Amino acid sequence: MSSTTIDNATIYPNPTEEEKQEIITKLGLKPFTNKNDSNVNRITIKKQNSESFEYLDNPEIYFSANTNNFVIFGKFQDSQAEPVAKEPENIKPTVDKSPNAIHQDLGAQADAPKASKEEILSHYQNKDNVVVDKAFLKEFGDGITEHQIDVVSRQTGCTDKYMIYKVLSEKKQDLITSIITVKELID
């Protein structure tokens, strides 16, 4: 996973298809792809002096060959909002949604034992004194890089590399979700 920081970005909110083509033609832009000629899957934007993130999934990215300018088209999503998965229309839910069933479910959830913060933190503790370095990540990292660990560390202020490694593993290397989780753990 790679990221690029763009200091001066121009944002065009909700342009029509005609406006997109006008911008692309006017600025002489070309489609942008990664070094391995693949499209960019996600762009994450952190506003200066803010802890919130916004991201675009599957954005359209164009660049100017003459300058270091990028134009990005896509729909912003807030990092706090969980993506909603669409259910296929032909599958009917098998969950009982009657008021009595919902009331029983809520009662069961309220009675269920809750894990304390100490119990949750103990899951992320480095009990075996593992050193998370390049060699460890190469052998056990499943694609997690030192750069990803450094990004999460910088954004959260957490210095426990093992905790960050475990969170990144559990969150399938999603940096935004990992940052939010680590912040919740250390606060």
Token representation of residue 63 = 């660049």
Instruction: Dump pLDDT digits (tens) for 106-159.
Output: 777 666 667 777 777 888 888 888 888 888 888 888 888 899 999 999 999 999
Least reliable range by pLDDT among 68-72, 89-93, 116-120, 177-181: 89-93
- 180 dihedral zone (left: phi>0; alpha: psi -120 to 50; beta): alpha
Burial class (CB in 10 A: 0-12, 13-18, 19+), 24: middle
Partnered with residue 73 across adjacent β-strands are 60
Angle at 124 between CA 49 and CA 51, to 5 degrees: 10
For the entire predicted model, the pTM comes to 0.42
In this prediction, residue 1 carries a pLDDT of 37
Confidence of residue 11 (pLDDT cuts 50, 70, 90): low
Confidence of residue 187 (pLDDT cuts 50, 70, 90): confident
Report, at the CATH architecture level, how domain 17-78 is classified.
Answer: Single Sheet (2.20)
In this prediction, residue 33 carries a pLDDT of 73
User: How far is residue 147's CA from residue 163's CA, in Å, rounded to a whole number?
Assistant: 15
In this prediction, residue 10 carries a pLDDT of 58
In this prediction, residue 2 carries a pLDDT of 41
Confidence of residue 18 (pLDDT cuts 50, 70, 90): confident
> Domains of the chain: which residue ranges?
17-78, 114-186
